[in-house]
Amino acid sequence: MQDTWRQSAGAEMAERPEDTPVSVTGPLKSVNTSEGPLTTRTLFECAAVIDELFQFEGAFMGMTDPTLREILHEEMSGEYGLPWRLASALAGRELGGSVVLALIDYALNPVVPGLTSADPSVDWRELYPPYRFAAAAKAMADWESDLEFQYPSHELTVHFQHTLAKRSGLRMGHVVAPPSGLSTLREAATKPMHLAERTPAVSLMCASHLLDLREKDVCALSHYGVNFLGDRAVRFVDPDRDMWWLFPVFQVSRGEYRWPAEHVNLDEATDLLMGAAVASAYDDVLHGTGPLASDHLPGALFEDRGEVDALNKILKDSAGLDMGWCRA
């Protein structure tokens, strides 16, 4: 996989000598507020709550439990609302949810040292999401974005990003090369590769689809809640049609393995299941102790001793180690 990043100006990664140092410069400091430290986790949590609040404006409003709104407002008055309150204080006015979501998205997409053509190093303040968020919020102090008056759109959000980059002096990272050359689930199941590679291959393929969506309709991700407004909500009525990769591809329900039959047949789904089992076993060996975990796998698979023995043989052949499930 080749990940390259470009800045809003369009510059892409240039080849460098192997001995070119890559570094993060500047002091590694946290962002402290009167309510405590601002963290990357809090930025994610705040964005999630704001996106959920969109439900009360969209097509599904009549189906939403009104007590949920009270719960969300309660969460927003606590730790999860810290980024919103901080952004409004730094901007000197109350910012709307759409603007705060755009600021969070901007903060969570930094440049990466060594993957920009301008410089193999990056300052900590440009890399660390909380610093990026605070600096971006300050840049709103004497500037009003159209996002404050209209629902987000791709064009408004892209213009916001470009303007914010100029005003804040912080570049925004953009993934150029797709994480995967695969486009379908069937390709991930049938292309020759080690079993342990199949699960990452599915994840990278879905990530590639997400990046394509971001290029065409950035606010579908930066403002996830807009997917429940107006015509956008139709895409979620039948996700298997064109957005199947946005949802969990495989599921275990009541001990049984389920897969999207529209995209893979039984044999292909079985190979992907074996890949998931082998990949998880590698994780157990590298990071854990004791018996191999099986809670994430279909329970029905372990009810037949013959199937367990077959699975253990596949794992032994793949890993080259005599290990397996249901062993003391």
Q: How many CB atoms lie within 10 A of CB 213?
A: 15
Query: Which tokens go with 207?
Result: 């990530």
**Is there a contact between 268 and 190 (Cβ–Cβ < 8 Å)?**
yes
- CA nearest 251: which of 283, 276, 233? 276
- Cα(140)–Cα(125) distance, rounded to whole angstroms? 18
Residue 253 has phi, psi (to 5 degrees) of -125, 120
Q: What per-residue confidence (pLDDT) applies to 24? A: 84
Q: What per-residue confidence (pLDDT) applies to 4? A: 37
DSSP 8-state class, residue 325 = S
Q: What per-residue confidence (pLDDT) applies to 237? A: 67
Q: Which residue has the tokens 């080749």?
A: 2
Q: What per-residue confidence (pLDDT) applies to 33? A: 94
Give the distance, in angstroms, between the CA of residue 211 and the centroid of all CA atoms in the same chain.
Answer: 10
Query: Which tokens go with 301?
Result: 């698979």
- Cα(196)–Cα(272) distance, rounded to whole angstroms? 10
Q: What per-residue confidence (pLDDT) applies to 8? A: 36
- CA nearest 215: which of 248, 176, 172? 176
pLDDT in tens, 225-277: 888 777 777 776 666 667 888 888 888 888 888 888 889 999 999 999 999 99
pLDDT, tens digit only, all 328 positions of the chain: 233 333 334 444 445 556 667 778 899 899 999 999 999 999 999 999 999 888 776 544 555 667 777 888 888 899 999 999 999 999 999 999 999 999 999 999 998 876 655 567 889 999 999 999 999 999 999 999 999 988 899 999 999 999 999 999 999 887 777 788 999 999 999 999 998 899 999 999 999 999 899 999 999 899 988 887 777 777 766 666 678 888 888 888 888 888 888 899 999 999 999 999 998 888 888 877 678 888 888 988 888 889 899 999 999 998 888 888 876 4
Q: Could you tell me how many residues make up the chain?
A: 328
- 3-class secondary-structure state, position 71: helix
Q: What per-residue confidence (pLDDT) applies to 301? A: 86
Q: What per-residue confidence (pLDDT) applies to 64? A: 61
Q: What per-residue confidence (pLDDT) applies to 17? A: 59
Query: Which tokens go with 114?
Result: 């060594």
Task: Tell me the C-alpha to C-alpha distance, in Å, between residue 182 and each of 35, 204, 240, 312.
Answer: 45, 8, 18, 29
- Cα(242)–Cα(23) distance, rounded to whole angstroms? 41
Q: Which residue has the tokens 């995209």?
A: 263
Q: How many CB atoms lie within 10 A of CB 7?
A: 16
